[in-house]
Structure 1
Amino acid sequence: MPLIDRDDCALVVIDVQTDFYPARRLDVDRQRFHEMVLRTAWITAVADRLDVPVVVTEEDPGHNGHTEPEIVGVLPKTAVTLPKNAFAVWDNPAIAAAIEATERTTMVLVGIETDICVAHSALRLHQAGKRVVVVEDAVYSPGAAHERGLRRLAGAGVELLSAKELFYDWIRTNERADAFHDAHRELAVPPGVRL
């Protein structure tokens, strides 16, 4: 597979909402969930700095709340946030239209849940002819569902990579990496990544 071309990418942030999981469901996975939120916010901030369009979805916001504040705080001014009723983003006409409006053919997916909304979105976008990349350390499902979702995606030909790998695909050279880090020291490395 070729490297990920940032000039052909759109970032789709799927359902990272404040009330998606009741606190009792996160007892075991609270740290992993929090790290996913921070990595998603980091990727969103990097996308903003690199002019990668961002589409945000919210499933049943009346019940699941709105996008996590860490992400809202770094959204580009041009980001579009839309409600989602069908699990796959592509099966929601307004979201599909927002994705098409980016005029990008590579969709980078982050969010929840790995085995349902992210998987359905990736598979439908792939079927629609898009190149689909799922950032495996910026998606989440509780327990074993996360790994099952990743296996399904890999088996279907969806590309999986880490937040760090995505960043370096987007940047490409030492010179650009140094310039980015000089200009945006707060975004030096993805949360939880040790260099």
Structure 2
Amino acid sequence: MAHVSRPLRTGSTALLLCDIQSRFESVVHGFESLSRCASFLVKSASELDLPIIVTEQYPKAFKETIPAIKKILPEKNTKIFEKTLFSMCTPEVKAHLNELGCTSVILCGLETHVCVLQTSLDLLSMGIDVHVCADGVSSQRKFDRSVALSRLATSGAVISTSESLLYQLVVDSKHPKFRALQPFIKENAANSKESELLTF
């Protein structure tokens, strides 16, 4: 029987940013599109007071999270973890997720077929629902991204889009933060027209 994920709710969801680092900027397909999508998710998560977990894969070699993302991360709700494990699920990250009491995560970053895939499988094995943001993940090769997304979909992860995920969190147009989110939604819609990550 297929896994049925729980509805996304602001009180039990975290945003995970996987290894969106400067060294990958020139080699990952659609990196700029991914970066814009991640920025939209960070701004939205900040407005909704969602916890944000950021990992950096061996930053001595691959540098830190790109400045465009790092400068908008809210200090109050963000934790940054260095790692060498391909999965984001280091002991420290798992402990933090447990402390937060998250039952769902929104995941974006790279690379889809390595770190995003392994993170998703680890989280699913922990009983956490994983919503992979298709317009916010990529790999160096398009083929690797496509195959990984298919694998994730059959493994129990939910493949969705950034706009859809936000609307699921907000639920109702009467949400007190909905008006404040409108500029981000409009900017994301405009950016999506030029996105290189609109294929599955």
Secondary structure at the counterpart of residue 165 of structure 1: helix
How many angstroms apart in 1 are the aligned matches of 2:160 and 2:10? 14
Alignment of 1:41-52 (within 5 A): 41-52=39-50
Alignment of 1:85-100 (within 5 A): 85-90=84-89, 92-100=90-98
Among the aligned pairs, what percent are the same residue? Answer: 25
**Distance of aligned partners of 1:62 and 1:163 in 2 relative to their CA distance in 1, 3 Å threshold:** same
How many angstroms apart in 1 are the aligned matches of 2:108 and 2:139? 12
Secondary structure at the counterpart of residue 88 of structure 1: coil
Secondary structure at the counterpart of residue 174 of structure 1: coil
Listed as ranges, the gaps of 5+ residues in structure 2 are 194-200
By how many angstroms is 1:3 displaced? 3.0
What residue is the counterpart of 1:9 in the other structure? 13
**TM-score of the pair, normalised by structure 1:** 0.88
How many angstroms apart in 1 are the aligned matches of 2:167 and 2:16? 19
Contact map agreement 2:163 2:185 (CA 8 A) in 1: no
Aligned residue pairs, count: 185
Cα deviation, 1:92-115, whole Å, max 9, x if unaligned, reads 111222222222111211100111
Letter in 2 for 1:188: I
Cα deviation, 1:26-60, whole Å, max 9, x if unaligned, reads 5xx3xx21011110111011001101100100001
By how many angstroms is 1:184 displaced? 4.5
What residue is the counterpart of 1:188 in the other structure? 185
How many angstroms apart in 1 are the aligned matches of 2:85 and 2:95? 14
Secondary structure at the counterpart of residue 192 of structure 2: coil
1:34 alignment partner, one of 29, 32, 41: 32
Listed as ranges, the gaps of 5+ residues in structure 1 are none
By how many angstroms is 1:174 displaced? 2.0
**TM-score of the pair, normalised by structure 2:** 0.86
2:73 alignment partner, one of 72, 75, 80: 75
